[in-house]
Structure 1
Amino acid sequence: MARDGAVYICQSCGSAHAKWAGQCSACGAWNSLVEELQSRPPGALAPSKAARARGLAFETLEQLTPPPPRIITGVGEFDRVCGGGVVPGSAILLGGDPGVGKSTLLLQVAAQAARRGARCAYISGEEAVEQIRARAHRMGLADAPVRLAAETSLRQIVDGLKKDAFDLVVIDSIQTLWSDAHEAGPGSVTQVRAAAGELARLAKSRSVAVILVGHVTKEGTIAGPRVIEHMVDAVLSFEGERGYPFRVLRGAKNRFGATDEIGVFEMADAGLSEVANPSALFLNTAGERAAGAAVFAGIEGSRPVLVEFQALVAPSAYGTPRRAVVGWDSGRLAMVLAVLEARCGLGFGDRDVYLNVAGGLRISEPAADLAAAAALASSALDQALPQDCVVFGEISLSGDIRPVSRMDARMKEAAKLGFRQVLGPAGVEAAAQMRVTGAARLADAIGRIGDGAWT
């Protein structure tokens, strides 16, 4: 029997259960229920008489609110994703795979911000102070006035931050903290939720920007209950494929800036270096373009980025053809293959199909449909696209090519990098120094690829 005041919390989704079960009824996870003692959460007391007498004060939309101040950290790509700098009093959650460089990035951010006059602290629950100091020496940041501490007790961290005044505080990581107000162990749903809530309240009350590092699960989501992402003001993910030096900082939520903004870094021996022109980094402009390659002019946040789609269509050696994709949605690939077969007469039923986005970048916008289809058709027909051609457009199930947003910005970015031709939706107006080959239907675009007709 469960003890009095005890509940069973799912460590996958955070739902509470009155008794133990092998499977969580909320999320379906097996063996994820852990017994935890209930405790009164901080701030759960009844409101005072003064608070009840004050009532609810309304304001109008016409009232002007000045923009929030910003802490410019000096790391331009990080400031871009945050919306132009870190807002004092905000809580930011940064997630990423183990070893991708989260600690390196945040130590660099704290050091650069401290050099610019901000009062910064770096608190680690995973490393000793000597390890952090050694990394700072390796990165050339030993002279930065950053206060270091190694602590996992939430009470000790909060009391220490209240004694000194800071502008920016990094907590690495939220899963290592524990509160003595709860019986659960560090890393459990209850402890993570309590630590995130307490640090978010501290950020608001002391007007200090708090950056929390979060571990990710094998599915790529931030570990712990999803309520943590609602507590914070911004959720950032740090992505990178093993074997590539490139790292992408992507904003999934931001109350003080645009979402889906990206910052691009390159990992080196001395830390992370910013990449001012990601398009030149992700493209291979040397030599002639091979069959099966198409350059996609995409938009990531507010920034146009050019990447190369690479496809290989080969006869299948086994009974079941393989479908492998890296950097793009596998469901989207299945749809494009179906449209190519049904509307364009290309057969993939007895062929292996491999699709890759070069450079380790992950593309999610529908405007990449035509670039993927062009790469697949180019490989299947063994006909290379022109070296100076970029492709963009959304494909419908009927085989139509639909217009996409910000086509002028895509073409201007391509023109800066020396591209002179565009394969896209019909009716696209050519930008300066660009020649447009428009197609209303996918069959027309594939026919031009097979015939090599671009004028």
Structure 2
Amino acid sequence: MPGKTQNIYVCSNCDAQFSKWSGRCLECGGWGTLKMETRKQEEIDYRLGGKAPGKKVSQAEIIDLEKIKENGLARIKTNISELDRVLGGGIVPGSLVLLSGEPGIGKSTIVAQLADTIGKSHGDVIYLSGEESASQIKARLVRLKCNLEKIKFISETNVEKAIAAVAALKPALVIVDSIQAVYSTEVLAEAGSLNQIRAGAVKFLELAKENNIAIILVGHITKDGQIAGPKSLEHIVDTVIYLEAETVNNYRVLRATKNRFGSVNELGIFEMTGSGFKEVANPGAVFIETGEEKITGSVISCLMEGTRPFLVEIQALVTKTIFGYPQRKASGFDLNRLQVLASVLTKRAKVNLTNQDIILNVVGGFRVNDPGLDLAVCLAITSSLLNQVIGRKTLVLGEVGLGGEVRNVSKLEQRLAEAEKLGFIQAMVPDSEIKARKLKLVKIKNLEEMVGCIAHIA
């Protein structure tokens, strides 16, 4: 007796299933994407967690980990030190990396330079693009002065055809620019849809693991800030790196948000030029101004991003409240933390801020979340209120507690060493056993001592 059949409605965009037709998919929000399909009741029950219709499931292989040989985690050095730092020391063969960023940020430029360095040192590189022609890709590579001998190009949007070509050559690196442009014939959806993006990423993941080929997927960030749709690839890939723009100068910041083979706390700093990306010679000072102009409420501090120290400039503007409650505004700094520090200053250091508006800014558009900058924020607020200038060669570090005490910060020696290298002459730090070679250390225990030292560090 034949099995029962049932009509269901399946979304062509996200593959969601419904018992009734609707003009809009309730899962992905797509309009006019539901299509009727006739399926056996056994298949529907199986999708809902039942037994497979008339099939016996074979047993999965059990692997004894003690018998697996440890070969170590070999890496492909890109010879771009900032990129190697973010990746954890280089690209791991067989890994799948997602490089994302806004349109026009420079993703195609950096992968072109990467293809050049890998091609010179490790063999063939395949550049797969469904968005640009071969002449356009060659023009970019020539402009960037890349060696074309080891770089091969595939102009194909079909995933199955592209994978067959890659498997035949077995290059050291494959670059897919971009994942939104390719499609799989096994998925009945348009290119760029959620299902196609997932299917393409899974296909390239299988290719990377089976053939030990490193693959980089380029993904565009959409208008709402998502990667290739609703961040649907981050759980599939091994590494996710973002390319961001620094607002004031023409710098690009490369950071990792997921890395199975390294840290996610490292930053890479690049300068965008007419001949491509160039590594910044002195990345620790890219977020501070080099001018000697004396401004009240301006204090320089240092934060840690992974193992690298960055100097940042904190600016505060304190003005008398004209009407209503005092305002607290912050750009690049946690507003709740600013409220806490203002209260501590008023209570513990006798700095009256109850009738003062406070506006705080981290210069350069940098967003900070390091408690080691608390003392710099308090000093900037006090400097603006008392109209006292803080010297540009003075570094301020310390965490502030609710009792007004100044506490030690992590990796203080590294931060002071970076300041010494950049020519700073003194530093205001917590009262601890720390020593410095050239810096004059002003050690304080609480905020009251900080207020008393303002005149001496001007």
TM-score range, shorter chain: 0.7 to 0.9
2:442 to 394, 416, 437: 437
Is 1:244 the equivalent of 2:249? yes
The Cα offsets for residues 160-210 of structure 1, whole Å up to 9 and x where unpaired, read as 212211111111122222222222322222222211121112111111111
> Any gaps of 5 or more consecutive residues in structure 1?
41-45
Work out the CA distance in 1 between the residues paired with 2:33 and 2:184. 17
Larger Rg: 2
Instruction: Point out where structure 2 has 5 or more consecutive residues left out of the alignment.
Output: 1-5, 44-51
Of 342, 351, 370, the residue aligned with 2:357 is 351
Query: What letter is aligned with 2:210?
Result: S
The residue number in structure 1 matching 2:74 is 69
The answer to whether the Cα contact below 8 Å between 1:296 and 1:309 also exists between their aligned partners in 2 is yes
Q: When the two structures are superposed, what TM-score results if normalisation uses the length of structure 2?
A: 0.83
* SS, match of residue 367 in structure 2: coil
3-state SS in 2 of match to 1:247: strand
1:186 matched to 2:191? The reply is: yes
1:80-115: CA deviations, max 9, x gaps? 111111111011111112221111111111112112
Letter in 1 for 2:262: G
Counterparts in 2 of 1:322-333, with a 5 A limit?
324-333=329-338
Shift of residue 246 of structure 1?
Answer: 0.8
Q: How does 1:12-31 map to 2 (within 5 A)?
A: 31=29
| Structure 2 contact 173–215 (Cα < 8 Å) conserved | yes
Listed as ranges, the matches of 1:400-411 within 5 Å are 400-411=405-416
1:415: which partner in 2?
Answer: 420
1:6 paired with 2:13, answer no
Q: Is contact 2:128-2:174 (8 Å) kept?
A: yes
- Listed one character per residue, the Cα deviations across residues 287-316 of structure 1 (whole Å, up to 9, x for unaligned) are 254222211122111112222223333456
Equivalent residue letter for 1:215: H
2:127 to 122, 130, 136: 122
Is 1:174 matched up with 2:179? yes
Q: Deviation digits for residues 38-63 of structure 1, max 9, x if unmatched?
A: 999xxxxx9x9997274342439xx8
Any idea what SS the aligned residue of 1:4 has? strand
Query: Please, what is the CA RMSD of the aligned residues?
Result: 3.5
Separation of aligned partners in 2, 1:22 and 1:350: 52
Question: What is the CA–CA distance in structure 2 between the aligned matches of 1:376 and 1:3, rounded to whole Å?
Answer: 68
1:394 aligns with 2:384: no
Q: Does 1:207 align with 2:239?
A: no
SS in 2 for 1:110: helix
Q: 1:370 aligns with which of 368, 371, 375?
A: 375
Given that residues 8 and 16 in structure 1 are in contact (C-alpha distance below 8 angstroms), is that contact kept between their aligned partners in structure 2? no
Residue 159 of structure 2 contacts residue 183 of structure 2 at CA under 8 Å; is this kept in 1?
Answer: yes
% identical aligned pairs: 36
CA distance 1:21–1:292, change in 2 (3 Å): farther
The amino acid that maps onto 2:93 is: P
Larger CA deviation: 188-197 vs 308-317: 308-317
Verify the 8 A CA contact 2:10 2:17 in the aligned structure 1.
no
Structure-2 change in CA distance of 1:380 and 1:118 (3 Å): farther
Shift, 1:241, TM fit: 3.2
- Residue 269 (structure 2) pairs with residue 264 (structure 1): yes
3-state SS of paired residue (1:95): strand
SS at match of 1:133: helix
Once residues 144 and 335 of structure 1 are traced to their aligned partners in structure 2, the CA distance between those partners, rounded to angstroms, is: 60
Instruction: Say if 1:379 and 1:428 are closer, same or farther in 2 by CA, change over 3 A.
Output: farther
Aligned to 1:43: none
Shift of 1:397: 4.1
Contact persistence 2:9–2:18 (CA under 8 A): no
- 2:47 is aligned to none
Separation (CA, whole Å) in 1 of partners of 2:19 and 2:433: 60
2:49 is matched with none
Q: CA deviation at 1:64?
A: 7.5
Letter of the structure 2 residue corresponding to residue 403 of structure 1: N
